Amino acid sequence: MRRILTFLSDFGSNSPYPAVVRAVAAGISEAQLIDITHEIQAHDIRQGAFVLWCTARYYPAGTVHCAVVDPGVGTQRRGLILTAGEQYFVGPDNGLLSAAAHSLGIPSAYEITNSPYVRSAIASTFHARDVFAPVAAHLANGVPLEKLGFPITDWTRPDYDFQGGRFLKESRELQGQVIYIDRFGNTITNIPAKLVQEHMSFDQELLLRRHTKEIPVRLRQSYGFAHHHELCLVFDSHDLLEIAVREGNAQEKLGFQVGERVTLRLA
């Protein structure tokens, strides 16, 4: 079975950079090349980490993920390989890879070395082309990790809590934070569906706190069960609680930003 090699970056699909990275990888490996996305917001490591966390679990064993959101390119930050769940993650050691690897198991980490498996001339501004794509392609070809780097234990583990959230019994509140806003303006929280289901049912009303206001909102089975332009709550495809507006834009309506606290009180 042919291995899969994925790519994720903040380069922008209309720039030449994704095509260059794919060309370098294709010159080394016959792996199936798949673009996850190149539309991560510029320099937004957390957003890239979330998208990689969402997608990695659906790929088969042996998949190699080359992910680059790298505002520290050209500095002393390290190149990293993480492996967990029989998958591999290649990119900068800045927290981008950590959540996805942890979602598959307990990761092992390797620092990438300047070896025959990277390009001989490394540009200070394009490590995706000169370091990460070649290493990922060689991994897809079956080159052992020990030939690509050496084991480390002090790799970057950011505090990205993509499945947090809690219920406060005394105040009957669900609390979490916004972790992602998609192109529809759906505001995704880190409150797991399972936690919500323990304390409420569909069509039950809650009060969503926004600054000093409490806004009535109901949990719906999906967008189609909400009224036209109704502000509602749904469970997204990753079993997280999402604030949405049917055929509208919740982010524009409420103004939530990534990292902002979300509080829902049972009415």
What is the C-alpha end-to-end distance of the chain, expressed in Å? Answer: 54
Is pLDDT larger for residue 163 or for residue 96? 96
Amino acid at position 260, single letter: E
Whether residue 156 is predicted with pLDDT greater than 90 in this model: the reply is yes
Query: Mind listing the pLDDT tens digit for each residue in 238-255?
Result: 999 999 999 999 999 999
Please count the residues of the chain: 267
Query: Mind listing the pLDDT tens digit for each residue in 191-220?
Result: 999 999 998 889 999 999 988 889 999 999
pLDDT at residue number 153: 96
Q: How many C-beta atoms surround the C-beta of residue 55 within 10 A? A: 17
pLDDT at residue number 58: 96
pLDDT at residue number 2: 85
Classified as helix, coil or strand, 170 is: coil
Whether residue 169 is predicted with pLDDT greater than 90 in this model: the reply is no
Query: Mind listing the pLDDT tens digit for each residue in 80-109?
Result: 999 999 999 999 999 999 999 999 999 999
Q: How many C-beta atoms surround the C-beta of residue 18 within 10 A? A: 20
CA Rg, the chain, in Å?
Answer: 21
- Segment 5-33 mean pLDDT: 97
pLDDT at residue number 135: 98
pTM of model > 0.85: yes
Q: 171 falls in which pLDDT band (50, 70, 90)?
A: confident
- The secondary structure of 69-95 as a DSSP string is --TTTTSSPPEEEEEETTEEEEEESSS
Whether residue 17 is predicted with pLDDT greater than 90 in this model: the reply is yes
